[in-house]
Amino acid sequence: MKFFYYNLYLKNPDSKALMISKEVHFHDLVLLPEEVVELLKLILSLHPIGHIETFKEKDTNDTLVGRKILDIKEALYCHVILNLKDTTMFHSSPISTFDLKTRAPVKLAFSVEPYLVVRFIFHRIGFDYKAVEIFVRNFISILKRLGLKKEVPEFNCLHSRQPFYDLDRYLTSNFAPLSEFWSKKLKKGITKASFADITIKPILKKSGELFHYSYLSFTKFTSGKIINMAAQKNISLIGPIISVYQLMLSFHSKSKYVTILTETDLRKKITGADNLVESMTNLVPLTAKIPIKNDQTVERFLVENEVLIQECISMCISFYSHL
C-alpha cells in the first residue's frame, strides 16, 4: 500500500516527521504533496499553541491547567511544520521566562505534541468516511479560495464555519451511521446547537486574568450518548468522535486563556454520572459527561480499549492512500 505518514508522536526514534512520495488518493479526491502540506499548514495555523501553568482550585482542590494561546503568526513562527527536532522537551520553566519561539515544537508534560488533532481524517481503523470526505472537500475549497497564499491568512469564523455546517447536516441525517444513536429530540438539539456554536463560561479569576472553561454546545448533546453507546455496543467510535470535537474546539475557541479539569486516574474514579472525561491531547479541552448506568461496563470498555483510545487521540496524523 502506498501512503505517506505524518507523525509527530515520535515514540519510534526512526520515524520520519514527514514523508510524501506521490499524490494522495482519498475516494475521488487527489491531493498533491504541496496541497497536503498547505492543508496541514492551514490546520496548524488555526490550532492554538501556548504556554502552560498549573494551580489548585481552592474549593475543590482540582488541578487547573491555564494556557496562554499564541496567535496564528506566532504559532507558525515556531516552525511547526518544518522544525520538528525538539519534540521531547517538557515544559518546566516559569511562564515569564519560557519563550516558545526559541524552542520549536514543545511537548507539554501531560500530553504529546498538543497542536495536531486531525488524525481522524485518514485513520486506518475505519470510521465514517463520508463525514471525512465532506470535511476534507471543504478545506480544499478554502485553500483554493485563499489562493494557497504563502503568508499566514487571517482566518476567521466566516471562512471556517461552512465545513462544520455541512458536517452538521450530514451527521444529523438518516444516512449517517451515528444517527441510530440519536433520538428525534436529540437530533433537533444537535441541529440547533451546531458545531459552530461555542459556549464560554467563566469559572475562575486569578491574578487579574480571566480563565475560561470552553466547550461546544454540540458536545453536551452528543458526547455522553456516543461514549456510552460505544461502550455498550463495543464499537470503536470514541477516538474519531473525540478528534472531531477537538478540532471543532481548536478552531472556534476565542479565549486567550482556557482551563481544564484533570484527574490523575480516570479509570479508578468512575463513581457516578457526573464524572468528567477529559481529552489530554488539545490545548482547548474536550470535556464530556458520561451517563454511567453500569460502572463496570464503562470501566471495562476503557480498560480493554486503552491502547486504541490512546492511539486515536494521540497527537499524530496518519494519512493513507485510498484502499
What are phi and psi for residue 21, nearest 5 degrees?
-100, -30
For the CA atoms of 298, 300, 304, 309, the dihedral, rounded to the nearest 10 degrees, stands at 20
CA distance linking residue 302 with residue 296, whole number of Å: 10
CA distance linking residue 313 with residue 269, whole number of Å: 21
Question: What are the CA-CA distances from residue 261 to residues 123, 192, 238, 258, 279 (Å)?
Answer: 28, 27, 20, 10, 10
240 grid coordinates: 474519531
| Per-run averaged pLDDT (10 residues), the chain, 323 residues | 27 34 41 47 38 51 44 34 29 31 27 26 29 49 41 34 50 52 47 37 31 27 38 38 38 28 29 29 27 41 43 28 19
How far, rounded to the nearest angstrom, does the alpha carbon of residue 90 sit from its chain's CA centroid? 20
**Which residues are CB-contacts of 140 (< 8 A; sequence separation ≥ 6)?**
29, 31, 35, 39
Give pLDDT, residue 169.
Answer: 58
CA distance linking residue 200 with residue 257, whole number of Å: 11
CA distance linking residue 9 with residue 164, whole number of Å: 27
What are phi and psi for residue 306, nearest 5 degrees?
-60, -45
CA atoms within 13 A on the CB side of 6: 28
CA distance linking residue 221 with residue 85, whole number of Å: 40
> What does the pLDDT look like over 115-134, one tens digit per residue?
222 222 222 222 233 444 45
Question: Where do the domains of the chain lie?
Answer: 3-320
Give pLDDT, residue 58.
Answer: 62
Give pLDDT, residue 250.
Answer: 35
Angle between the 217-233 and 184-193 helix axes, to the nearest 10 degrees? Answer: 140
49 with 75: CB under 8 angstroms? yes
**Which residues are CB-contacts of 105 (< 8 A; sequence separation ≥ 6)?**
8, 78, 79, 80, 83, 84, 86, 87, 113, 115
**Which residues are CB-contacts of 13 (< 8 A; sequence separation ≥ 6)?**
none
> What does the pLDDT look like over 185-225, one tens digit per residue?
445 544 444 333 333 333 333 333 322 222 222 333 333 33
Angle between the 157-171 and 184-193 helix axes, to the nearest 10 degrees? Answer: 170
CA distance linking residue 77 with residue 101, whole number of Å: 7
How far, rounded to the nearest angstrom, does the alpha carbon of residue 170 sit from its chain's CA centroid? 20
Closest C-alpha to 138, from 223, 214, 247 = 247
Helix (H) or strand (E) holding 29: strand 29-31
Beta strands in the chain (DSSP E): 3-6, 18-19, 24-26, 29-31, 50-56, 63-69, 198-206, 209-216, 257-262, 276-278, 287-289, 317-320
